[in-house]
Amino acid sequence: MMDTGGLSLDQAPPIDIPARFFLTAPLFAIAAGLLLAWQGPTLLVSRWMPGALAATHLIAIGYLGLIMCGALLQMLPVVAGAPVPAVRLVGTLTHLLLTGGAAALLLGGVSTGLGFLVFVVPVTIALAGARGVPGTLLALRTAAISLVVTVILGLLLVAVVLGWIRLPDVARTVDVHAAWGLMGWVGLLVMGVAIQVLPMFYVTPAYPTPIRRWLAPVLLIGITGASVAWLFGDERLGRMLFGAAGLGFVGFAVMTLVLIRRRQRPRLDPTLIHWWSAMLSIGMAAVAWAFAAPPTLVGVLLLVGLGVGLPAGMLFKIMPFLTWFHLQHRQLAARRFDLRIPHMGSLLSIPLAQAQVGLHLLALGLLCGSVFVPALARPAGLVLALSSALLLGLLIGVARTYRRIDARLALTDDAACV
């Protein structure tokens, strides 16, 4: 059984709010894959290539950004008992602005910034008064701070490109922007989600107290110190502090793998393979960075191995859970106990989910290989697009099931009003 103790399920927002984020996000991963298949090896020549920047932001903003924002709008009321003010308006504006911003890297810079601003202000208000699992709240709060810094740095870089301002070291600012985005926003948010989700969905032991209480704020301090050192030209100190923060994330990844191994439910779940590959990708990225491997390899491991794979695995759990939960509430309200609500385990095709995992791992392997063998770039892009399309198809299937059963329950409500 899933452990939902301590959750404020009655405060969950309407299902269409997070669902619109989750259903839109795979479109951007598909676009990134098709862009890679079109441009081929030239996209991976350097991270400064326009195609590489576009693909990076399609994944970082269009895919990751949408999924993370949708997940937070869902999690804060349920996990922390902190509903986001005006959640429907916030969700609608954030979704529209981020979708538009991700679709146009340069022209969409302002749209992206506004989208995150619309999102982060009410989320910060919600987090300020939140209660719940301290470890999760700490990680979510540090992730929110990281998002603000990431957006500010991103807008500065857009202003540089447009010629509005000048920075003394644009390349270093880009590095710091990427570090705050990947390590701060993505890394710390993954940490907060894992602390809550692993024990709930997989019945694992809780993370050790020092990790839950201290790791997120210590990592935030480390990222801040490294960024300041880099921006002021102290390469050695910055690299040491970033390396220490990287080791902290590697330690978290190792502990996550240990807890998964100790789970009470031994059944092999396709989502677990996403967790394993994501945690291993963190470790491999840290090793690649330490040994001065090409930056594109580190980017592939973090953006695709962690940033594409883990959210896909989580959506395999989150969408069926939300569907089952909301239909249960609708059934109770309609008093239609003769209507069978599908169990969340039956809402998603396991063979197709396994196929999606396999395609993702193949895409990741081809992408890593393409850093050294450029001819692999085009097939890597096609497989990435295919795996993301399959993810989208699975999520659409769950959404259609919800709409079909919800329509039958609505008929009961209408009949009762007559």
Q: Which residue has the tokens 């998002």?
A: 147
Q: State the pLDDT at residue 107.
A: 57
Q: How confident is the model at residue 80 (pLDDT cuts 50, 70, 90)?
A: low
pLDDT at res. 1 = 47
**What is the C-alpha separation between 250 and 165, in angstroms, rounded?**
37
Q: Which of 161, 155, 162 is nearest to 180 (CA)?
A: 155
Q: What is the pLDDT of residue 10?
A: 64
Query: pLDDT at position 315, please?
Result: 92
Label residue 382 by pLDDT band (50, 70, 90): very high
Residue whose token pair is 């894992």: 194
- Residue with the bigger pLDDT between 174 and 50: it is 174
Work out the pLDDT band at 257, boundaries 50, 70, 90.
very high
Q: How do residues 273-331 score in pLDDT, each as one tens digit?
A: 999 999 999 999 988 888 888 888 888 999 999 999 999 998 998 899 888 888 887 77
Most confident of 117-121, 240-244, 262-266, 411-415: 240-244
Nearest to 386 by CA among 365, 366, 359: 359
Tell whether domain 15-404 is in CATH 1.20.210.10.
yes
Q: For the residues 191-196, what does the mean pLDDT come to?
A: 86
Q: Is the pLDDT of residue 417 over 50?
A: no
Q: What are phi and psi of 68, to 5 degrees?
A: -65, -40
Higher pLDDT, 167 or 239: 239
Q: What is the DSSP string of 102-124?
A: HHSTTTTHHHHHHHHHHHHHHHH
Enumerate residues 6+ apart whose C-beta is below 8 A from 132: 6, 79, 80, 81, 82
Q: What is the mean pLDDT of residues 79-91?
A: 82
Band (pLDDT 50/70/90 cuts) for residue 31 is: very high
Which two structure tokens, joined as six digits, stand for 167? Answer: 């920075």
Alpha-carbon gap, residue 294 to 290, rounded angstroms: 11
Kindly compute the dihedral angle of the four CA atoms of residues 231, 302, 2, 195, in this order, to the nearest 10 degrees. Answer: -20
- What is the spatial distance between Cα 237 and Cα 131, in angstroms, rounded to a whole number? 37
Residue 160, pLDDT above cutoff 70: yes
pLDDT at position 71 is 87
Q: pLDDT by residue (tens digit) across 40-59?
A: 887 776 666 667 778 888 89
Mean pLDDT computed over every residue of the chain: 84
Percentage of the chain lying above the pLDDT 90 cut:
32
Tokens matching residue 385: 């697009």
Residue with tokens 């991700």: 102
Q: What is the pTM of this model?
A: 0.88
The reported pLDDT for the residue numbered 248 is 92
Burial class (CB in 10 A: 0-12, 13-18, 19+), 203: middle
pLDDT band of residue 418 (cuts 50, 70, 90) is very low
Are the beta carbons of 368 and 301 closer than 8 angstroms?
A: yes
Section 345-349 average pLDDT: 83
CB-CB contact of 185 with 146 (8 Å)? yes
Give percent of the chain above pLDDT 70.
90
